[in-house]
Chains A and B, each alone.
Chain A
Amino acid sequence: MSSDLRAAIHRAATVTFSAYSRKSLREGLPKTSEGDPVSVAIEFTGPRKGRVEVNIWEDALGDLAASMYDQRVPPPFSDQLDAIREVTNVIAGNVVSSLDSTSLFNLGLPKVQHNGPIAAVDPSAVADFALGSGRVSVRLFIEN
């Protein structure tokens, strides 16, 4: 795993979650959350081609969406999905900008992966966080 890639995804995720969540962001993946995450991915093309995938467990998703909608309680699940799609879009934009600051990258639209995260391929870099009482895993896949 390249340290440059890890730094890129770590920085993008930290900046984005710190801006959008009222909950504290801590490095590392706690084992308090169970069940399958909500998984959203966005593909990018340009001098490098790949995918950014954000996996978020439900406690963290509800809290994040409530913060983004400026509400005390989590909004309906459809609005939670809108929130995490936008977060994925922002992380991906910041990641590709730091991969190569002089070239053009095109981003696809963020898509919910209804079958969960893609496990068949090892990610090129991972950034895991505890977000409040929940957790988030951001994964970067670069195609060779």
Chain B
Amino acid sequence: MNVLVVEDSEVMRGMIVKALKNGGLPLGDVYQASNGVEGLQALHDHAVDLVFMDLNMPVMDGETFLRSLRAEVATAGIPVVVVSSNSSSARALGLESLRATFVQKPFTTQTLRAAAENALGARQ
């Protein structure tokens, strides 16, 4: 399973990847992007099975990235997990209609894994 992590903080990208590895998910390639623009480019360049993303990012924020991802036929079906500290922003975004799962920061390995499984399961 190839994963894309879109998050402006390098340390948080590392923590997400570490939690995914510790959580026992069958990881393939892990791609990283520091904003929505880089995230869309990574989706264009690589086959991605699951996206983890922040909302509060410079250059292109998470909402714009997620709506762009859902608007493209090639990427519209990719499961998404939003990892953010701001639950009010996630709620206002209407994650259910955008078919995304929410995880509150700070997260645990277990909550991140459960969210990934939830997102992957919702696709089927």
Contact = CB atoms under 8 A, between A and B. Distances in A.
Contacts of A83: 11
A89 B88 contact: no
Contacts of A93: 56, 84-87, 89, 105
B11 to A, nearest CB: 5
Contact of B56 (A68, A69, A89): A89
Contacts of A70: 14, 18
A23 B24 CA distance: 26
Contacts of A4: none
Contacts of A91: 85
A144 B105 CA distance: 28
A82 B89 CA distance: 22
Interface string A85-119: 11001111110110011111111010000000000
Contacts of A90: 85, 105-106
Interface of B: 9-12, 14-15, 18, 56, 58, 84-89, 91-92, 104-106, 108
